[in-house]
Structure 1
């Protein structure tokens, strides 16, 4: 049966197409997070805008190449919910992106709690727990700050 398409060939083409379509969509839809200097403290700004109370702040430094320090905040709302946010500033986009790849390489339950990581310019914001009602209020403000890329960069 040379010259005719067999069921096996059709199945193979179907599987290749079904693999390539999602990959293509991911490539087209995803965009690289911009690396730019962030002025001020995005977490403090977001907390002030959303009416969340900052109960504690301390300096922190992640032991990662290219990290230059940050802060850990404990936030609370009027309903008694708490959230810990840790920020870290990175010296380059490559160092920041390496930290993101490291975070994504560890599955939940294998030394990694249920948490989330957010990008704000040259900073990473690590939130624990990821299902906190406070996070639902803070993240939109942080994302807005992340979209506010300064002109000329």
Structure 2
């Protein structure tokens, strides 16, 4: 196992506590809700998303290197009235949206392989369109926190 994949449990706990004691407390008090503090995704979903990023990137750029691809995690929140398949008890809670990135000129740009070549590094726009993205893991809360260690 690489040392870059190791973090002390005390640092993890400190980071989680910092979030819960500051941002989460502020959100819960000011929005009068019990916001999510973790999001879980199963490995097959994550592996499938990574494989799709690699496949789609190679489709539009056969010379792309894996080192030039990545994933940006955006903090996000569900709307007041979620639309199926999002459960109604996820309303207004934190979530994550994962967006592929592609390195160009030393910068990691958001990347949408479903855009035309010159616009593939510009995911956002005024016209609704599809983007390669991943969302909707299991939130805690409303899920049971008994499964969490931190």
TM-score normalized with structure 1 length = 0.25
TM-score normalized with structure 2 length = 0.25
Higher relative contact order structure (alpha carbons within 8 Å, sequence separation ≥ 6):
2
